[in-house]
Amino acid sequence: MIRVIQGDITKVTGFDAIINPANNSLLGGGGLDGIIHRAAGPQLKTECRTLNGCETGDSKLTLGYNLPCDYIIHSVGPVWMGGMAGEEELLTSCYLSALKIAAEKGIKKIAFPSISTGEYGYPLDKASKVALSTITTFLNDHPDSFDDICFVVQDRLSFDAYSAAIKDAAPAKPETKKKTTKKTKADFSESEAESPSETDEEPEVSEKKPKKKSKAAEAPELPKPVIPPTFSHAPYNKYHIDWLIEEVANDKPHTYVCFWMAEKNSEYCQLSLWFKGDPIFINGRRYTTASQYIMSEKALLFGDVDTYKKIMNEEDPALCEKLGMQVKNFDEVIWKKCCREIIFNANVGKFLSDKNFSDALKSTGDSVIVEASPTDDIYGAGLAKDDIISQDGTLITPPQNWHVEGSDFQARNELGFVLMAVRDYFKQ
């Protein structure tokens, strides 16, 4: 019933439907989502526009168009945030909603990819276990729903992970778990003494098990986030200061737009992380500003739940950032690996939730976006607007000279470049 093959999910035959690991817009994106959209043809995006997006953890159905299947079920998986932001529940809901849609439509043969393990960063071993646990539970409750459920994965690593999860899923029923526990006790008792069973030894076995449990319970108290892998081709890494320096050096023409929240009524001020517009909804949670989301994710990344709660109860973005600077167990190396992706996700959520923001971002066209903050040369350029561009949008100061006055630090304009990646993302 459940199997795994290595191949291209857009080319496999014999299935009534395939699952597309979609983003919230349902309009296609990077990775496999974009591949499926291109293979299905432009009619898919036309139908998807009528669906008004999709919440994380949910799924929606369209026709398959040019694909060798009748239907596509678009399922929006969660972005991995360290495992403390409800990712497992959202991924479970993602698979469950897809299975329910398929069962209701009478789809008998279905092909799944590995949802959320690509650019969304969900650990492969954890994701495969969630997938198989959800599917086997559903099949136990609805044994006649499907004739064939297949995972179609792109690489050997994923093939091995899902193959192992399929083997482990079969005995993972409540009855089997109880039997496993009993066997462990029996094995433990046998290794404890060579003599035939004595009644005195039973309590010793039961005393040792709680000790094991207490050790396991202590583990989450000292979270140690690992340095995540670098996704060099992720959309949020497309633009950066070295890219712009090279563009300018090669005389490639660009126009420029600047923003800074200090000028609250200025053009493009909606692009600031501090801008308060409509509520932002990301992964089922509500945020007042993009800054609140970023700082809360920073706290979760390093396991500081107390600071996370304070940030989520604070609507002032300035105070959110102050709280974010107090996050315990902070590791700058890890943060540098993650911050671009988190900022990208914040602005994707903001784009989908706040029309003022999306209109402002769209209106920048193909211009280079610069945060003209004279006090910030990490997320901004370290210079004021009048020092960066002229009134007609041409460049005054070349990017290699952007920095806060009195500092030799090369300004990075991280927010401006991530916003350009978000703009590209929604142009697809």
pLDDT digits (tens, 9 = 90+) for 227-269: 666 666 788 889 999 999 999 989 898 999 999 875 566 788 8
Q: Which residues pair with residue 152 across a beta bridge?
A: 5
pLDDT at position 170, please?
Answer: 66
**What's the pTM value of the predicted model, to 2 decimals?**
0.51
More confident residue, 172 or 369: 369
pLDDT digits (tens, 9 = 90+) for 366-421: 999 999 988 888 899 999 999 999 888 789 999 999 988 877 788 999 999 999 99
CATH architecture of 2-169: 3-Layer(aba) Sandwich (3.40)
Going by their DSSP bridges, the two strands 17-22 and 71-76 should be labelled as parallel
CATH architecture of 235-427: Orthogonal Bundle (1.10)
The radius of gyration computed from the CA coordinates of the chain, to the nearest angstrom, equals: 25
Structure tokens given for 74? 């678009």
Q: Which residues pair with residue 109 across a beta bridge?
A: 148
By the 10 Å C-beta count (0-12 exposed, 13-18 middle, 19+ buried), 165 is classed as buried
| Cα–Cα distance, 423 to 428 (Å, whole number) | 9
Pinpoint the residues of the chain covered by CATH 3.40.220.10: 2-169
Average the pLDDT over 149-176 and give the result: 80
Residue position matching structure tokens 């690992």:
226
More confident residue, 197 or 282: 282
Q: How far is CA 199 from the centre of its chain?
A: 53
pLDDT digits (tens, 9 = 90+) for 23-52: 888 988 778 988 999 999 989 989 999 998
Pinpoint the residues of the chain covered by CATH 1.10.357.40: 235-427
pLDDT at position 231, please?
Answer: 67
Band of pLDDT at residue 183, cut at 50, 70 and 90: very low
CA angle 163-174-87, nearest 5°? 60
